[in-house]
Amino acid sequence: MKPAPFEYQNPDTLEQALGQLAEYGAEAKLLAGGQSLVPAMNFRVAQPRVLIDLNRLGELDFIKQENQTALLIGAMTRERRLEFDPMVAKWSPLLAEAIPFVAHPQIRNRGTVGGSLAHADPAAELPVIMLALGARYKARRASDERWIAASNFFSGMFSTGLAADEILVEIELPPMPPRTGWSFMEIAPRPGDYALMGVAVLIALDDRAACRQARLVYLNAGDGPLEAKEAARLLEGEMPKEAVIEAAAAFAAEKEINPFGNVHASPDFQRHLARVLTGRAIRRAVQRAREDISQ
């Protein structure tokens, strides 16, 4: 058999799962969709002594709106469900646009939102989207719970601020500010492959159609989702004209991101992709923000 032996726990409720995690702590791994963990176990890169399977926790599989203040997504919600959910499309069109880029349908049918975030792969789309959207994560442990901002969650390659006895249970997405345009773009060798470079862009325009606020977040550009804050500042307060967009794209690509390169792309090529994609994505986001104004 490919994976090393492990003790299997199959809790029916979150309370049970939290109790088991409190008991086993760092010896246990949580099994969500398994689309990253199981390959690692098949290679025996991961050999957890205890596996706590969260797949029976229907209570963590939900998408719901809380008044007009937030969209709440359960950590065990399959990525595929987001793809077809009308609430996600309406509340968070950036998320809806990015989901089809997350691996293949066969993977999205199993892979979960919480699993992808807790895995914290720097090449993954969902951490980038959540950081761009200013999401918050609810972490539970047997005795208490806390909220963690996406900006404080990722702590390096495949690392998060979750403690060994905590489970990520819920993601909260704030509403998009008015007159905000969005765009997600990436370049991958084939659809569904890990992207060589990708960027999520949000642009909010003010009454005179100048850029009020900008957000640029990159995948595969460092050891986690990487926000180019200085480049965003070059856009803010300015009319989004070509020269401004080009300057921001060049600054992000040359000064702010830190791509490592891989067998498919050198760091220089990744920076080139970042510059081109950033320009395109800003233009698309500005166009959408303007459509929002004209309505």
Partner 1 sequence: MSQLYPVTVTINAQVYQRKVEARLLLSDFLRHELGLTGAHVGCEHGVCGACTILFDGESARSCLMFAVQADGHSLLTVEGLANSPGQLHPLQQAFWEAHGLQCGYCTPGILMTLLPFLERNPHPTELEIRQALSGNLCRCTGYQHIVDAVKLAADKLAAPG
SS3 10: coil
Stretch that binds partner 1, among 12-20, 175-183, 191-199, 226-234 (CB under 8 A): 191-199
175 binds partner 1 per the rule CB under 8 A:
no
Q: Which of 87, 107, 148, 210 binds partner 1 (CB under 8 A)?
A: 107
With b for 16 or more beta-carbon neighbours within 10 A and e for fewer, the 142-153 pattern comes to eeeeeebebeeb
Q: What minimum distance in Å lies between the beta carbon of 60 and partner 1? A: 16
Sheet strand arrangement including 50-53: 7-9, 50-53, 28-31
Q: Binding to partner 1 by residue 1, rule CB under 8 A?
A: yes
Q: Which of 192, 244, 250, 272 binds partner 1 (CB under 8 A)?
A: 192
Residues 31/54, Cβ–Cβ less than 8 Å = yes
**191 sits near partner 1 (criterion: CB under 8 A):** yes
Please give the size of the binding site for partner 1, defined by CB under 8 A.
Answer: 31
Question: Which of 66, 144, 190, 243 touches partner 1 by CB under 8 A?
Answer: 190
**Do residues 52 and 11 make contact, with C-beta atoms less than 8 angstroms apart?**
yes
- Residues 267 and 166: beta-carbon distance below 8 Å: no
| Minimum CB distance to partner 1 smaller for 125 or for 172 | 125
Using CA atoms, how far apart are residues 140 and 156, in angstroms rounded to an integer?
Answer: 21
The DSSP symbol for 197 reads E
What is the arrangement of strands in the sheet containing 197-205, beginning at the earlier edge strand? Answer: 180-187, 197-205, 211-219, 226-227
The one among 17, 30, 51, 211 contacting partner 1 by CB under 8 A: 51
Would you give the DSSP letter of residue 100?
G
Name the amino acid, one letter, at 185: M
Only one residue has tokens 């539970």, namely 140
Q: Which is nearer to partner 1, 78 or 141 (CB)?
A: 78
Residues 8-37 as x/- pattern, contact with partner 1 by CB under 8 A? x-x-----------------------xx--
Nearer to partner 1, 3 or 267 (CB): 3
The reply to whether 263 sits near partner 1 by the rule CB under 8 A is no
| Least Å from the CB of residue 48 to partner 1 | 11
DSSP 76: T
Q: Interface with partner 1 includes 42 (CB under 8 A)?
A: yes
Where on the chain is the footprint of partner 1 (CB under 8 A)?
1-8, 10, 34-35, 38-39, 41-43, 51, 53, 55, 80, 103-107, 109-110, 190-193
